[in-house]
Amino acid sequence: MSEKAINFKDKFSKFSEHWTPKVIAEMNDYQFKLVKVEGEFVWHDHPDTDEVFIVIEGELIIEFRDGQVTIKAGEMYVVPKGKEHKPVANQECEILIVEPKGVVNTGDSGGDLTAQNDVWI
């Protein structure tokens, strides 16, 4: 029985909208989600969990109240739980997020950019 790996580029080719995470895999109670982003997201935090960003293509800036980090393709960063952050991408950027199942993209901040959760692709 031959199993099939999950190909990031193949999955990214299946959608075009921004700021809407798509689940591609689960590991225990964690999910791996692909997101295309462009422009500025909202300030928010996740009070109960760290959040991992891995950039697949492009460049993501995560602003903090006291600084920022630039994450390029082939790089990752862990935003500590409870730390306010605002993702920004000056051009379209493709990212892989790892976090516990159930985490909402805008944290407790809500708003128009709040995406439906647990959407698989």
- Contact status: 13 vs a second copy (CB under 8 A): no
Interacting span for a second copy (CB under 8 A) from 15-23, 36-44, 98-106, 112-120? 98-106
The least distance separating a second copy from the CB of residue 5, rounded to whole angstroms, comes to: 4
Locate 57 and state its tokens. Answer: 């293509």
The set of residues, in sequence order, having a beta carbon less than 8 Å from that of 25 and lying 6+ positions away, is 6, 31, 32
d(CA 115, CA 22): 10
Q: In whole angstroms, what is the distance from residue 6 CA to residue 10 CA? A: 8
Q: Which range of residues in 13-21, 36-44, 93-101, 110-118 is near a second copy by CB under 8 A? A: 93-101
By CB under 8 A, tell whether 90 contacts a second copy. Answer: no
- Least distance in angstroms from the C-beta of 112 to a second copy: 28
